[in-house]
Amino acid sequence: GKPIDSYPLAWLRRNISFLGQNFGRHEASIAENIAYGDWERLSGDRAAVERLARSTGLDQIAATFPDGIDTHVGREFAEHDLAGGPWQRLAIARSLALPAKLRIFDEPTSNIDARAEHTLFNAIDEASRDHTTIIISHRFSTLRMADRILVMHEGSVVEQGTHDDLMAVDGRYANLYRLHESFRIREER
């Protein structure tokens, strides 16, 4: 009930973590990229950075590089670069680094396969306990995990509930879900 511009900018930066579809790809080491999420706290806490790398599966990706999570990555100045999915994992780890009260993820796993998506959502769930997390997604695998789904149409919330609630209502969500499933079944044939 309070306008957002009434909060000090420093408070907003400490309490809201946002990961958009177009995230930063920083020319730095994997560890530094993670620590950038809360540099003041994590630049001197290697164990916390390593925990974030493990929880998001970045440790396995980093193990393929000569210096592990200390390997510098990027297109411009580094010898090694990451594909889209690993960069997205890195952005998620960086976003989870800040112990924010509110986390907002916009299509956080759009470049990631189902197995990696499962790992990342476990990490997001674990890091977000006692916090509010908003995930904006069109992926039903993502939506099914939500405690509450808000269905928007033309700028308004038109349905809300769990996946099962919304399927029982048989409205917009259920229709889109069935359409999605029909395409998925055709692809599997």
**What are the tens digits of pLDDT across the range 115-145?**
877 777 878 778 777 888 898 888 887 787 7
Distance (Å, rounded) from C-alpha 85 to C-alpha 109? 8
Block residue for tokens 């790992």: 119
pLDDT in tens, 3-45: 999 999 999 999 999 998 888 899 999 999 999 999 999 999 9
pLDDT in tens, 43-76: 999 999 999 999 988 999 999 999 999 999 998 8
Q: What is the pLDDT of residue 185?
A: 60
> Which tokens belong to 75?
């297109």
Give the pTM. Answer: 0.81
> Which tokens belong to 163?
């996946």
- Residues 109, 141: contact at Cβ < 8 Å? no
Q: What is the pLDDT of residue 189?
A: 55
Q: What is the CA radius of gyration of the chain?
A: 18
Q: With residue 73 as reference, give the H or E element that holds it.
A: strand 72-73
Q: What is the pLDDT of residue 34?
A: 96
Q: Name, in order, each residue with C-beta under 8 angstroms of 176's C-beta and a sequence gap of 6 or more.
A: 140
Distance (Å, rounded) from C-alpha 141 to C-alpha 155? 23
Helix, strand, or coil here: 155?
A: coil
Q: What is the pLDDT of residue 139?
A: 80
- Residues 70, 59: contact at Cβ < 8 Å? no
Q: How many CB atoms lie within 10 A of CB 125?
A: 11
Looking at the predicted structure, is the pLDDT value of residue 187 above 70?
A: no
- End-to-end, the C-alpha distance of the chain in Å comes to 51
Please state, rounded to an integer, the average pLDDT across all residues of the chain.
Answer: 88
**Amino acid (one-letter) located at 96:** L
> Which tokens belong to 123?
């990490």
Residues written for the chain: 189
Distance (Å, rounded) from C-alpha 31 to C-alpha 3? 36
Question: Per DSSP, which regions of 28-131 are E strands?
Answer: 28-29, 72-73, 102-106
- Residues 150, 125: contact at Cβ < 8 Å? no
Nearest C-alpha neighbor of 109 from the set 137, 82, 133: 137
